[in-house]
Structure 1
Amino acid sequence: MPEKFEHGGAVYAAAAKTGDNALIDFSANINPLGLSKIVKQAIMDNVGNVIHYPDTAMTELKNKIGTVYDIAPQNIIMGNGAVELLYVLCHVLQPKNVLLIAPTFSEYERAARSVDATINYCFLSEQHEFELPLQKLIISLKNKDMLFLCNPNNPTGTLYSAENIAIVVEHAEANNCFVVVDESFMDFISNSGDFSVKSLLNGCHNLLIIHSMTKFFALPGLRLGFAACSDAEVIRRMNLDKDPWNVNCLAQKAGLAALDDKIYRRRSRSYTRSEINYLYEELSQLPLLKVYKPSVNYILLNIHKLGMDSARFYQIMLEKGIIVRDCANYPGLSGDFVRIAVKRREENDKLLDAVESIME
């Protein structure tokens, strides 16, 4: 079983362990098209600027994000990846009783524990396909001062309606509870307007939206993300709490180029959706797997019928040159679960061949 807060994407550690530098990493949920050529060129064109300090105001980047995502630029704060902002927020607001749905992204809990918050779980039900238990969640808000929601949820891939989240935010406000909604995978969804709650920002001062730019734009090594909140005091205090040079100059230029590359964004959504459907359909044909229907670029699997736990499955796949995400360390899951990313067709076929060979 992986350590409690261990993540996917540990390709360097896996390569060092196996001596194989050609491992295919299905444990990190990154855009299968990889880095945009326009973004790569922007990075190369600006390498010389690393002799200067980064722009602390990041006005151009905030304005571009504001235009693309329809968010007022003054409500935006930039981060060295979205995760940095989770920690900054917790250190600013100092929550005492935090509510998490489970299973979900582990950095919410880790950020909350960094300020000694008490963690409370609202568990999702496998029998109900990990859907949001709206009434149960609303009841659980009592005496909680912060709630984290991931939409689409990681690792289950469950997508929650904006209407249901709006109901949660309204009840949270009545309970003096601050809500963080992580929309880091929302870029992969063509009709994201039906699910994003950014339209609530102006009317809700107890809401902060987190958005990673590393997943969809394939920038995990550069680190780039943002948060948006209409409470000016929260944004002001977060800006004071973070490193003023937290986003390096290459990440800033990459972000600007990525947001301008409309062809890449459109092609990424189309290609990824095609491969999501392909991989889901092929995996669903394998009788010993329970495959949960994905909404974005990762798929949760229950491997219980294979007669092995997730640690053994991980090891066998690693020996076949493939890294998967062992989900045993997610509260609310167990050694019956693994998560795989959606990649290019050739890589997806290699994964399918590897899984099928286990069943022979």
Structure 2
Amino acid sequence: MAGLKLGATSPLKVYLGATAVSKIYFGATEIWAAGGSGATLVAAAGSFALTGSTATLKRALKMSAAAGSFILTGNPATLFQGIPPLVADAGSFVLTGNATALLYGRRLAADVGAFALTGNAAGLKRQFRMAAGAGAFALTGNAATLTTGAPFPLVNGTNTSLNDTLVTSHTVLLPASITVGELLIIVITLGGASTTLSTPAGWNQLFKVEGSSRTSAGYYRVATGSEGASVSVTSGATRKSRHQSFRISNYQGTPEATAANSLSTNPDPPTLTPSWGSDDVLWIAFEGHRGGTSSPTTAAPSGYTNFATGTTTGAANDDAVCSTARLTSVASSENPGVFTVVNSNWVAATMAIRGT
């Protein structure tokens, strides 16, 4: 007799609803009897169906189907506590039922066939990921909620800082509670005439503009846990400076950016088309200019949120202003629109961070 196991456990009893069954057959083959040994349930080219009221699947159960269809039904068909992937090949995959709750980091994957998840209040939580190949993918139902683990990069922390005296070593404060593996980004703007900026040790240049009475740059690195509370950026001449920093998770690859500069009332981050094509992207629009409190930034690009701006405390050309705002979208390129400032020499940049 073939066996039936749930995870590594051979069940002593199996219920359909409130009724205990004595034997289970696959086709004409007996695969389980009460009190017998167990094994994995596997279906080949035919169909596989598990039905019943409160059909509960627990603790490392794995179900697989070949070219035929796979269906799991029942009220409420509950899947939880460490179940590994539910996988279907070229056939269709359907998960139905009222309140079909999928918890704790599960992954559902489908190949060329169709994939559908349906039900009332089908709640998907905690870094849940679903993937489909060339076939169709549908998520339906009333209040079908997906939470915690969105595909877009997450900004977990930020910080702002300034150097309000003329220095060549600019202390940029980093966000608190940095976690190993997070993406760290800093942006810096200098006041005064243009000069040079040196990339800090262990960091990578994201963008930089030096010239025509304007100096701004962005740098990034992957956190190793050795960063400390700040990083020092060196300028070629003594300048005041203003800065911002970010720590970001749920990303992949390396960020990309493009920058422009001009003299006007509307710093305009240029269009950026990342190399990876269309995907889930966190866009950060940046502008920096000299002038301090005499030339504040008053508005971010339309549609952008988390507008953050700051100046050094003076109002002369030696002072600096640094501003950012953010947007998430599924896109292959982005043109953020303009910031609004009093007329000034500015640098503007568009940064892209790819989601997982």
TM-score by length of 2: 0.22
Task: Identify which of structures 1 and 2 has the higher relative contact order when contacts are C-alpha pairs closer than 8 Å and 6+ apart.
Answer: 1
Give the structure with higher Rg (CA): 2
Select the structure that is richer in strand: 2
